[in-house]
Amino acid sequence: MKLTAALALSILAETVYGVADHLWYHTDLSNVTDWYNEVNVVPGAEPISTYFMTNGFTGGYFGIQHNTEGKTGKTVLFSVWDADDGTKTTQQYCGNLSRCSTFGGEGTGLHANYDFQWTAGVTYAALVHAKPLNNGYTEISGYFQHENKNWYHLATYRRKTESPYLTGLYSFVENPSSYLINETRRANYGNQWARSSANKAQELTVADLTHTSLVDSDRYGSGAKGTSFYLFINGPKNDIPSKTTITRKATGVKPDFDMKGSKGSIKSTQKSQSKRKTTTSKHKSGNNRSVHKKSKTTTTKHKNQSTRKSTRKSTRKTKE
């Protein structure tokens, strides 16, 4: 497998910070413009400090997170890194329910948070769309689909890219910090599809598993169940070796690539949520990931789970 910049960054970061396992999807399509995935988190397997990353690609990723306690602790996150040569990614659109800002940490770039309180056991979908500008840049958009099938457009970013199309399609489940390290994180990822600029669609039913860990005792697993893959970390035991190739059953049903939703248009269903201002915050922390600002975070050593649990102290870092 080609070691993409995203994978390199991801492995680099995860070796230091977190336990994760990843699925790298096979596709025969050239010129992928659309990348669709569905996620259904297993109830009770979504503790704080989890990133269920659904639509990863070279240069960015998209997924849902549980970051802090309380009623506002979940978010949908869409991130696009700056180009490998340092050229800044620029914002073309920020949805009116998104918090769009720059980030530093594992690379630098732009990201949009949409604070949608997703529910475990419910299936959501995410779509990344790439529009090559034929000048060395590509506009990359992230769309999230709610339970009622309506879509929300988080943001569009313009990135300088080697390939004008989407490459390196992958997903992961990660605990980006060492918080609640013994609690299982588990989700089903299903009905993956890609579509090309020539309007050819392919269902992605085959993926390679990789795994990163902090210590040898870290447990992870993956497999296929019907038309979904599943991924977990910190499970009761390992159930699969890393580097395994996994195949799920096909649905044969093309997704809502054109985002017609249930009402024939791209709409947010989160009207009850208050409008948020777009904020730009700088996090110049070199190779550090910035610590989540919302939580009262204290940094301690994290070798003793029971101590951390009782005092609620730990290093809490979130994926950017």
Ligand X SMILES: *[C@@H]1O[C@H](CO)[C@@H](O)[C@H](O)[C@H]1NC(C)=O
Residue number with CB closer to ligand X (33 or 54): 33
Instruction: In whole angstroms, give the CA distance from residue 226 to residue 146.
Output: 22
* C-beta of 131 vs 294, nearer to ligand X: 131
Residue 57 · residue 167 · CB < 8 Å:
yes
Q: Residue 307 CB, nearest distance to ligand X (Å)?
A: 4
Q: How far is the CB of 305 from ligand X (least distance, A)?
A: 3
In 3D space, the residue among 82, 13, 305 whose CA is nearest the CA of residue 182 turns out to be 305
Using Cβ positions, the residue closest to ligand X within the complex turns out to be 286
Two tokens at 195? 């579509």
Task: For ligand X, give the closer residue by CB, 23 or 233.
Answer: 233
CA atoms within 13 A on the CB side of 50: 29
Instruction: Give every CB contact of residue 109 below 8 A, 6+ residues apart in sequence.
Output: 60, 79, 80, 81, 82, 89, 102, 103, 157, 320
Q: CB 98: neighbour CB atoms within 10 A?
A: 26
CB of 125 to ligand X, least distance (A): 20
Minimum gap (Å) between residue 161 Cβ and ligand X: 11
For the beta carbon of residue 71, count every other beta carbon within 10 angstroms. 8
CB of 241 to ligand X, least distance (A): 18
Which is closer to ligand X, CB of 196 or CB of 222?
A: 196
Nearer to ligand X by Cβ, of 197 and 262: the residue is 197
- List residues binding ligand X (CB under 6 A): 30-31, 96, 164, 182, 196-198, 217, 275, 285-288, 304-307
